[in-house]
Amino acid sequence: MMQINLKRILLLFGLIFSYVSIGSIVKEDFSWLLDENNSVSLEERLEEIDDDVKMNLTDRFVYKVDDNVIQISNKRLRVVSHAMQFVGNPYRAGGTSLTNGADCSGFTMTVFKDCGITIPRTSRTQAQGGNEIDISKVQPGDLLFYSRGKAINHVALYIGDGKVVHASTTRTGIKISRYDYREPIKAVTFID
């Protein structure tokens, strides 16, 4: 199957894309961009597309992680790609700095704020805000919540492919984990 590099598509549209290897667009989803004989380059084909169509293209991306094809809106892509660039940075209780240290809710609040979306500060108030969704319907950019006992005490950002990025502990900092490394009890979206 022929694949087109997602970073190349984003650069063609002049978008800033900081996460280097999020995946690739699958040919079947954008087959109208390519001709069967590859006699017209992707760049030449994109030059022929009206600006309105280009805007629709950038509104929703399809990317592939391993063998899973995932659709993601441009807004969700911005949130996920912004969050991913801070993996490896430190955890700090009460912190909201993506570079110098954040706790779980400080991390999600600041990632969303940097993407133009205002959400509450603590994991409990974040769980009460936004629109509750079924955990089985979670999409990249949605928040998953975890508890000890009955009280919510942790939040993570779903990034797709069954994974979350979160400010975990002082030992591990901001990292990627499977979404079910603990059992999530609630999912909320702040993205339309």
- Mark whether 154 is an active-site residue: yes
Q: How far apart are CA 21 and CA 146, in angstroms?
A: 28
Tell me which of 64, 76, 78, 154 is the catalytic residue: 154
Tell me which of 103, 166, 168, 188 is the catalytic residue: 166
**Which residue do the tokens 């969704």 mark?**
133
User: 3-class DSSP state for residue 34?
Assistant: coil
- Mark whether 115 is an active-site residue: no
**DSSP 8-state class, residue 90:** P
To 10 degrees, what angle do helices 74-84 and 104-114 make?
130
Tell me which of 10, 104, 119, 191 is the catalytic residue: 104
Contact 75/139 with Cβ under 8 angstroms? no
**Element holding 102 (H helix, E strand):** strand 101-102
Burial letters 9-22, b for 16+ CB under 10 A, else e: bbebeeeebebeeb
* Active centre residues (catalytic): 104, 154, 166
